[in-house]
A and B are shown apart, each in its own frame.
Chain A
């Protein structure tokens, strides 16, 4: 079945440093979504990528979808304390089912 690996598991950064989390799938994806979960909160949708090689930006966040549609990344430029939380990728192979990665927990030190 489909397997998803998200790395790193944890990342500690100093405020102002950049941060990147990677998501790799064993199978070709139809699309991939990214979610953010603040401590004690619930996952909140950030974005969906569909096209091969797609790059989307949301302010300091940059999302990329690999050319082979098997991997994706989320990059945050100049992290802020408000970026703290766990970032999940959620790949989809075309059906109803979306599998969430294990998540990358981001800690930002002021």
Chain B
């Protein structure tokens, strides 16, 4: 298995532009998580899906952020319009939620820089 795939790996954009981050979870996993990591705020959970349904988006910073999971093999995180304070590494993670270990598998991350 290729693991969790994220694209792009790096994104540099200008303030006000729309940014779309993409994630392909591990096949068979039923939970998907979007995280943001910065030095100041650490690893923050933005939103998570179970069986393609958003369960909790309370971590989404504001209305500029939106996430979708149209099917079990694809999710997007969109920022519109982007701002310099959105600069961070964004991780997608997936897991197979059972009554046992719910290990999260992280993708390599997308490093976003908003100028």
Contacts and interface: CB of A to CB of B under 8 A. Distances in A.
15 contacts: A33-B104, A35-B104, A43-B43, A43-B93, A44-B106, A45-B104, A45-B105, A90-B104, A96-B31, A96-B48, A96-B50, A97-B48, A98-B104, A100-B43, A103-B43
Given A43-B106, A44-B106, A98 B45 contact: yes
B28 interface: no
A22 B45 CA distance: 21
Contact of A96 (B55, B91, B101): B55
Interface size class of B (residues with CB under 8 A): 20 to 34
Given A41-B108, A96-B97, A100-B35, 14 more contacts: A33-B102, A35-B104, A42-B91, A42-B108, A43-B91, A43-B106, A44-B106, A45-B103, A45-B105, A48-B103, A96-B31, A97-B56, A100-B45, A103-B42
- The B contact surface, by secondary structure, is strand
Contacts of A92: 102
A35 B35 CA distance: 14
A87 interface: no
Contacts of B25: none
Interface in A35-54: 35, 41-45, 48
